[in-house]
Amino acid sequence: MKPSFLSITIIALLFQSCMPKEQADVLFYNAMFYTVDASFGVADAMVIRDGLVLELGPEQRLRKKYTSQHERDLKGNYVYPGFVDAHAHFLALARSYQEVDLRRSFSAYDMVVKVSDFQLDRNYSVIRGMGWDQNLWEDNEMPDNTLLSKLFPETPVLLRRIDGHAMLVNDIVLERNGITANTKIEGGEVVTVNGVCTGVLIDNAMELVKWPGKSLADLGDGVKLAQRKCFSLGLTGLSEMGLSWEEIQFMDSLYVNDVLQMNMQVLAGSDSVTFEKALASGGWITKGMELNGFKFYADGALGSRGACLIKPYSDLPESHGFLLKSPAALYEASLRVKNAGMQLCTHAIGDSANRVMLDIYKGLWPEDTTHRWRIEHAQVVNDDDIKSFVGTGIIPSVQPTHATSDMLWAVNRLGVQRLKDAYRYEDLRKAAGLVALGTDFPIEPVNPLGTFFSSVVRKNDEGVPDEGFQMNNALSRMHTLQGMTIWAAYAQFADDRFGSLEPGKQADFVVLDIDLMDASEEDLRRVEVQQTYIKGRNVYGVF
């Protein structure tokens, strides 16, 4: 006599109930978990062990399968893989806690007042600052150092423009570095008016400043504050752009001594000392930090008219901007990076600079599409060059808040027609199949949720413009989330370790109070990070 279906079911249930449960460290439940895996799935619970994801799925099924030492009720919130910033300047953020913030200066005079107030409070031997932007001033004119030199005749003052591609220094800095109105340098400019230095140095001219040097020894507290800031905004990983050899060794020591825990790809700079030493090293991994490539600069920035354009600037017809190195020099250095088996990520803003680097990349990788070499910013890209991202493996690495920060003045640089070639994030995604998203902090705020808002809504903090900026190039919510998680991880060769919530990957995740996939524009403005975890360990926030 054959057993009935009911008896088979009872036997199966009895057998299952007798099976020992698997051991887990923590069960997280009562939340909507976005896995951002290949299926872009959702779950309502997750179990982890030894800092890795074991499984996601229905809470009741996981409770039946696993016994957990601890449980965490996530209070009905929303969970996403930890955000990964594909383009950041972490050490610059650490330094910013010891610098005067000039981002909200309304004039050159207002900037000097901020510097003076800062120095009255700090009394530093060297005054450093960052964030001024002449495009936000009524006269739109580059500043000069006349007042700074009068107020601080013996104290060096170095004030970087918001994009990091220009710097205002006082006379003592010019004098001690031998910089005069006759100083010339390839890929840069010592700005003069009527044959007199204004104190503004653009792009490679900033490298003429050797005195005063920067001290890494005093950055301990700044580094801790910078990491805390990242955690508070859900950042669990980033690509650190263009460090010197001394800075690389400093960062390595922070990981050796467990000062830093966040996942960090470090890209070496291209100065001669750093380039040779990093090439010779071949890269390495120290706990959460991996050195595996280089950050090059093809050109400067649009705001300071250092971006290299195919046609002249609309508001300066005598200038196309400039490359920071010749195409031949860029090719030779790129070839050496390839031969060393390392990654290359190149800053390219203008359409001419993008064309030069895309041609170099395609020439070096005519068949291999797995190299993951990146164009950083890809800010102005001609229609003919968008095609260079198709089927080549070249990754566009872009920063959505640049579009909403620049949109009010970029039309002056490019003109109405050419502006359509700028900030083409959806066009780039379609061509390359992915985009890696970042902030470029501290040039822009340290806020991946600002990245999400700018990418999807294409408005600035004031909700301008009403209809959104060039909405044909807005990214979808799903693609934006992928761009700041799994695609950003892929762009740094880390997608096998983090970037999505899948079995075997690090339990890096962020808990938010709203559903990014469904929230209104107004709710996206007010979203808050509730908790952040790295390898299953809470690093920010408690319930």
Q: Which residue matches tokens 């009403």? A: 466
Distance CA 423, CA 473 (A): 7
Quickly name the fold that domain 23-82+498-543 has. Urease, subunit C; domain 1 (2.30.40)
Confidence (pLDDT) at 95 = 93
User: What token pair was written down for 425?
Assistant: 């994030």
| % residues pLDDT > 90 (the chain) | 94
Domain ranges of the chain: 23-82+498-543, 99-208, 218-497
Quickly name the fold that domain 218-497 has. TIM Barrel (3.20.20)
Confidence (pLDDT) at 2 = 55
What's the whole-number mean pLDDT along residues 6-19?
Answer: 54
Confidence (pLDDT) at 9 = 53
Distance, C-alpha 182 to centroid of its chain:
36
Interval 393-419: pLDDT, tens: 999 999 999 999 999 999 999 999 999
- Other CB atoms within 10 Å distance of the CB of residue 395: 28
Q: Which residue did the predictor score with more confidence, 542 or 432?
A: 432
DSSP classification of residue 458? -
Contact 360, 331 (CB under 8 A): yes
Name the phi and psi angles at 90, rounded to 5. -65, -45
Distance CA 240, CA 228 (A): 16
Confidence (pLDDT) at 520 = 97
Q: Which residue did the predictor score with more confidence, 345 or 216?
A: 345
Residue 121 has pLDDT above 60, yes or no: yes
Give 257's contacts (C-beta < 8 A, 6+ positions apart): none
Distance CA 86, CA 485 (A): 9
Cβ-in-10-Å burial (0-12, 13-18, 19+) of 408 comes to middle
Contact 167, 160 (CB under 8 A): yes
Interval 211-259: pLDDT, tens: 998 889 889 899 999 999 999 999 999 999 999 999 999 999 999 999 9
One DSSP character per residue, 279-306 reads HHH--EEETTEEEEEEEEESB--TTTT-
Which pLDDT band holds residue 17 (cuts at 50, 70, 90)? Answer: low
Distance CA 263, CA 508 (A): 10
At residue 206's C-alpha, the angle toward residues 133 and 444, to 5°, is 35
What's the whole-number mean pLDDT along residues 358-378?
Answer: 98
Interval 439-453: pLDDT, tens: 999 999 999 999 999
Q: Which of 192, 193, 210, 211 is nearest to 201 (CA)?
A: 192
- Other CB atoms within 10 Å distance of the CB of residue 166: 29
Residue 387 has pLDDT above 60, yes or no: yes
Interval 492-502: pLDDT, tens: 999 999 999 99
Handedness of CA 206, 210, 212, 217 (dihedral sign): positive
Residue 305 has pLDDT above 70, yes or no: yes
Distance CA 88, CA 491 (A): 13
> What pTM value is reported for the model?
0.89
Contact 190, 201 (CB under 8 A): yes
What is the residue-averaged pLDDT of the chain?
95
Distance CA 299, CA 122 (A): 35
Distance CA 18, CA 170 (A): 78
The CATH number for 99-208, chosen from 3.40.50.2000, 3.10.310.70, 3.40.190.10, 3.50.50.60, is 3.10.310.70
User: What token pair was written down for 36?
Assistant: 């951002």
Which pLDDT band holds residue 315 (cuts at 50, 70, 90)? Answer: very high
Q: Which of 82, 163, 140, 96 is nearest to 399 (CA)?
A: 163
